[in-house]
């Protein structure tokens, strides 16, 4: 007995794994940005000391993006929102990369590139 799965089934599973991982990471980033004391946050990410408003704004965007990646599919309500959330996260990661490069922190954009690639994969296939 063989248990071959169709490529579309495998792709569907890979998309859900990507959405879940990216969503969980964005929820963590959101909670960190919104609820960690400013001094602790600045020790972790030095750029946050100078840009508190940007920290709160990106924390909110991270939260909304995380919800947008999984809730439409789970609730089966307007599933195309997942694609829009993925595009938004892709733009956020591009903006974060530009921000870090402008500050001379190009060595910090690796994670932004990885998240952008995952978001692009989700947007492309959803």
**What pLDDT is recorded for position 120?**
98
Of residues 2 and 87, the one with the higher pLDDT is: 87
Looking at residues 64-91, what average pLDDT do you find? 96
Candidates 12, 19, 20, 24; CA nearest to 86 is 19
d(CA 51, CA 39): 12
Looking at residues 83-111, what average pLDDT do you find? 96
Q: Per the domain annotation, does 3 fall within a domain?
A: no
Q: Per the domain annotation, does 69 fall within a domain?
A: yes
d(CA 90, CA 23): 13
**What pLDDT is recorded for position 3?**
60
Q: At what angle do helices 52-75 and 7-35 cross, to 10 degrees?
A: 150
**Structural domain count, the chain:** 1
**CA-to-CA dists, residue 78 to 10, 62, 72, angstroms:** 23, 20, 6
Q: Could you give the percent of the chain with pLDDT greater than 90?
A: 86
CB 70 within 8 A of CB 23: yes
Domain that includes residue 12, residue range? 8-125
* pLDDT one-digit tens code per residue, 14-70: 999 999 999 999 999 999 999 999 999 999 988 899 889 999 999 999 999 999 999
d(CA 96, CA 99): 5
Q: Per the domain annotation, does 2 fall within a domain?
A: no
């Amino acid at each position: 007995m063989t248990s071959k799965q169709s490529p579309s089934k495998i792709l569907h599973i890979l998309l859900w794994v990507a959405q879940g991982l990216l969503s969980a990471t964005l929820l963590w980033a959101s909670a960190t940005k919104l609820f960690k004391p400013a001094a602790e946050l600045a020790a972790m990410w030095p750029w946050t000391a100078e840009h508190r408003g940007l920290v709160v704004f990106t924390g909110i965007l991270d939260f909304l993006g995380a919800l947008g990646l999984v809730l439409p599919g789970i609730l089966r309500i307007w599933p195309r929102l997942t694609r829009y959330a993925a595009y938004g996260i892709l733009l956020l990661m591009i903006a974060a990369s530009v921000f870090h490069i402008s500050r001379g922190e190009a060595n910090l954009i690796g994670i932004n590139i990885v998240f952008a690639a995952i978001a692009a994969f989700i947007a492309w296939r959803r």
